[in-house]
Each structure stands twice: as C-alpha cells, then as structure tokens.
Amino acid sequence: MVKQLCEGSFRNGILYYGGRGESDDTSSRFKEKTSEEDIIFIKLLYMTGLRVSEAISVTPSKLVAINGGWAVDIIGKRKKRRLVAIPEHLVNELRAYAYEKQLKLEDKFFPVTRSQAFRIVQKAGEQAGINKKVYPHLLRHTAAVERLKRTGNPKSLQYHLGHSSPVMTMRYLNTLQQEEALKIQQEVEFKDI
C-alpha cells in the first residue's frame, strides 16, 4: 500500500501502480512525513483488504501460521470468523513493531478509532501528494481488485473479504477494465473433452 500511496494514480475509484499523474518525489515525501506506525497500518489495510474495524482489532495473537503461510484470524461483520492471508514480510514488520512497543499478545497493534484511522489514511494521501480523496475503504477496494486480477477467483476473494453474497464480490469485476477482465478469463484453461 505504501507503494500505492507513493506511486499510485486513480482510475475508476481505485489506486493503481505506475506513477501516472503523480510527481516523482511522492515516495520520499510520503516516507519523510508519515510515522512508522501509520505506514504499517496502511500496509495492513492494503495488503489484507481488511475493513477498518477489523484492522484496528488486530493483536499479535491474531497472526497465525497456517498451511506454510500466514493469516490474520478475524472476527468480521455479523461476528463471522475468517482467516485472511497476510504476507510474511508484513507479519515480520508487525512482530518487530510489537517487540519494539512491548505489546502483549492481546494488545491492539493500532489502538485507534475508526475516525482516527480515516484521518491517518487521509493525511498519508495528502503527504504523498495525491490530489484525490484517499480513505481506508479505498484501500480495501484496491486490494480486492488487485487480488482478483492476480487470481481470477471471485469465490476465493469473497471468502477473503468476508462477503456473505457473491453479488458483493462481483462488483470488483465491474471495476476492472474490459481488457483486464478478458485477460483473466483467457487464463482459465479447459481440457478438451
């Protein structure tokens, strides 16, 4: 997500990599003006696609190793439990941060309110020189589109995001440009019968 904020541009309400429309020194401005805690929080939102309420509830004890990878054990909407994939490098950053801050297993990494989380993300966007509104749920949408692009698997994305209905998840297909959607579908292989 930091790269998204640092080098991103907006199209169709989604942040995209590539630096289109943003200045070259965005990355350095963002890193100079944004605290380590805020950067890790933004990474967590983007790299997991968690809802703000889920992200601010994450504790060291909710980071679990499973199937050779890492996940965050989340209680989402309607008190539904799910495991959300998280990159190992982010787990390492979170664990180092917890050690540095002497967090206990049940201490929240980010003891902030939803409105404080909104301000953290909005401020980071401003500091990165992004001229559009940046907010936490935008990071969730961006993560969803990116995961859908990479996997082409809406059912897996539905579980990852904690959507109760596939209709909610299918919205992200509409966000992809027609060409990108076609490319995803072309990667599906059928064996000859």
What structural domains and CATH numbers belong to the chain? 2-186 (1.10.443.10)
Tens of pLDDT, residue by residue over 11-57, are: 444 454 333 334 444 455 555 667 889 999 999 999 999 999 999 99
Q: Is 186 exposed, middle or buried (0-12, 13-18, 19+ CB in 10 A)?
A: exposed
Confidence of residue 183 (pLDDT cuts 50, 70, 90): confident
Cα–Cα distance, 36 to 11 (Å, whole number): 28
pTM recorded for the entire structure: 0.76
How many Cβ atoms sit within 10 Å of the Cβ of residue 174?
8
Going by their DSSP bridges, the two strands 69-75 and 81-85 should be labelled as antiparallel
Contact yes or no for 8/16 (Cβ under 8 A):
yes
Q: Whose CA is closest to 75, among 95, 61, 90, 91?
A: 61
Please give the full DSSP string across 147-159, using - where no structure is assigned: HHHHH--HHHHHH
As beta bridge partners, residue 120 has none
